[in-house]
Amino acid sequence: MNLFIDTNVFLSFFHLSSDDLEELHKLTVLIEKGEVKLWLPEQVDDEFSRNRENKLADSMKRLAEQKKKPQFPQVCKDYEEYDEIRELQELFGKKLSSLIDKVASDVSERTLKADEKIEELFGQTEFIKTSEGLLRKARRRMDIGNPPGKNGSFGDAINWEALLEHIPKKEDLYVVADDKDYYSLLDEQKPKDFLVDEWFAEKNSDVIFYRRLSQFFKEHYPDIKLASELEKELAIRALAESGSFAATHVAIANLSSYTEFTQAQISEIVEAALTNNQVSWILCDPDVRQFFSALLDSHGDIMKEGERAEIESELLECPPTDDIEDA
């Protein structure tokens, strides 16, 4: 899956965003597991570095504005609620000042969670260098008025030309960008028609568009809230789709690191053992057998009756452990 994330999406994690930093962590997991190829033009990195301070300065300004105290009419002072509110205001002011100091320190040291997650994500990708050829293409795009891009700014044009140049033909592109240079004025949840048509003409594939990273995850991984759960789901998928005995052993090793599974996850694991011959044919191998035996012991009570009976029956067909060790 080819994914491009515009700079403004990364910057939103330093400002006002409905997305959670866990989205970035989940994306890092997908990249590590080879599920997603994140395409990062060097231009995105440059824009991010240039604008990080501006976003943070505005965020700190908004945070400081929370110190403003509400005004009360004189008549309120005769009520007990007034004194209680004043005490709460004083506590709020102290906590807010402490928060501002801590955030300011982390901003200065570049140790904000957003910094850590974005650095982690960028470290998993290779940047597309801004070559002279890309600059020429971007200038031409701007000169003739083709999107994306604004008058006098080549950034979006460079990014789009980089994607056109490097992503293989017949492969779809998934774009996350909260920028009117990318989305349609008729439907802000869809990409501009020009970009869709150009991509299809050049690549014979489609552009799938999202304005939020959370929208991307909602569509493709709707039930995954945490990165740790995503890793588990990918491990289960790897077992289900195993195409070799070696891949099965790797998948079993990964799954063995988890102690908790949902009923739905158990059903997927058992189905893999019963329907994928790259799993079922080596069910009696020590590591595979041990995993499914342990699964029965720890989760047998929530397995569906038919699933439990089938996997128990398959394991009973295995020779005794001593026979395997002697062999």
Tell me the pLDDT tens digit for each residue of 117-164.
Answer: 999 899 888 899 999 999 999 999 999 999 997 766 789 999 999 999
Q: Are residues 152 and 268 in the same domain?
A: no
Tell me the pLDDT tens digit for each residue of 49-104.
Answer: 999 999 899 888 888 888 777 788 889 988 999 999 989 988 998 999 999 999 99
> Whole-prediction pTM value?
0.77
Instruction: Tell me whether residue 282 is in a domain.
Output: yes
For residues 170 and 183, the answer to whether their CB atoms sit within 8 Å is no
For residues 5 and 177, the answer to whether their CB atoms sit within 8 Å is yes
The closest alpha carbon to 236, from 251, 222, 247, belongs to: 251
Backbone angles phi, psi at 270, to 5 degrees: -65, -40
Q: Are residues 193 and 311 in the same domain?
A: no
Helix, strand, coil percentages in the chain from 3-state DSSP, rounded to 5: 65, 5, 30
Query: Residue 64 half-sphere exposure, CB side, CA atoms within 13 Å?
Result: 8
Residue 111 three-state SS: coil
**DSSP letter assigned to residue 243:** -
Instruction: Tell me whether residue 86 is in a domain.
Output: no
For residues 10 and 38, the answer to whether their CB atoms sit within 8 Å is no
Give the burial class of 175: count Cβ atoms within 10 A of its Cβ; 0-12 exposed, 13-18 middle, 19 or more buried.
buried
In which domain, by residue range, is 26 found?
A: 2-61+121-219
Residues pairing with 4 in the sheet: 175
Domain count for the chain: 2
Q: Are residues 158 and 20 in the same domain?
A: yes
| CATH number of the domain bearing residue 14 | 3.40.50
d(CA 161, CA 146): 11
For residues 248 and 239, the answer to whether their CB atoms sit within 8 Å is yes
d(CA 310, CA 313): 5
Tell me the pLDDT tens digit for each residue of 230-242.
Answer: 888 899 999 999 9
d(CA 327, CA 322): 9
Could you say which of 197, 219, 241 is where a domain stops?
219
Tell me the pLDDT tens digit for each residue of 208-264.
Answer: 999 999 899 989 988 777 787 888 889 999 999 999 999 999 999 999 989 899 898
Q: Are residues 318 and 213 in the same domain?
A: no
DSSP string, 255-275: HTT-----HHHHHHHHHHHHH
Q: Are residues 6 and 50 in the same domain?
A: yes
For residues 67 and 155, the answer to whether their CB atoms sit within 8 Å is no
For residues 126 and 134, the answer to whether their CB atoms sit within 8 Å is no
